[in-house]
Amino acid sequence: MGKGGGKTIGRFRVTDDVLGTGSYGEVRRGADTQTGESVAVKIIKKELLTKNQRSAQQLFREIAIMKSLNHPNIVNLFDTLQTGNNIYMVMELVPGGELFERIVEQRRFEEDKGRRYFQDLMLGVRYVHLQGVAHRDLKPENILISDDGLKIADFGLSNIQLSTSSGAVPDAMQLQTVCGTPNYVAPEVLSKAGYNGFMADIWSCGVILYVMLAGYLPFRDPQIPNLLQKILKGSYEMCPNFSDPVKSIVEKLLKRDPADRITVDGILDDKWFNEGFDEDRLKLGTFKPISTEPGSPCHAASPKHGGGA
């Protein structure tokens, strides 16, 4: 349980052990008092949300989306509660830390290890996209490592990506908000002309694969304007250490034009990707409808456990 202390919110004990901090609160270690299972509790201060209506809408959308997801390669949201001062998101505790930290420690992964992690990533992305959701901020800092592999986290910038029955995303259904992390964002997102959130995620996956196997970013520059111009032009150098099959899939992932970029189905058919891949994993995960009803997606904690941290 870490440092101890803390308080009980609903059936969860929240300790003073801080796992991370963000713009609207922090993440603390906790435990389910009924099962003893360790959890991570994201605490969001209501007073900060009341000052920014857009952030409040974004949080409620994140909660609604996470509640609909259930897959081994996605961080699970167990419960959401609220007190007078805070909103609590009780999530799966993933003990292995961020993929980013592991890359920094090891500099780069051997090809087989990078492939296994990329398979996990694509299974999670495929599932999310089948649910009609674009993540929009895929990067190693938002991917956690568990004993079973990778888990996608932080759906704070995610959104519903509408598409036709055939899966096409016509102009009227494209997303408009420019968001994400500069080094990982797709060129069409920067162009401000609307974009298919699914294909933007595929670009980000390409950057992640490159980083895992090379140990450095394909698009990098100390000056942000120069960095964005390189991304808009799709200008990067292939890592000379990559094998030919890796070079081939990276080129397909980092196509500047999303219409030419490889799709999830194309990745699943790729020979390099398929080495050692268990197709039965494609059947994992369940689907639940995403509620779009107005109102808070949180329920109140028991009054005797109320109060804010």
Token pair 């107005």 is found at: 294
Other CB atoms closer than 10 Å to residue 308's CB: what's the count?
15
Cross-strand pairs, 175: 195
Cross-strand pairs, 286: 70
Point out the catalytic residue in the list 16, 17, 112, 137: 137
> Is 137 one of the annotated active-site residues of the chain?
yes
Cα 90 to its chain centre, rounded Å, is 17
Query: What does the alpha-carbon distance between residue 154 and residue 171 come to, in Å, rounded to a whole number?
Result: 27
Element (H, E) at 92: strand 86-92
Contact by Cβ (8 Å): 10, 79: yes
Cα torsion 176, 182, 186, 192 to 10°: value is: 30
Q: Annotated active-site positions, please?
A: 137
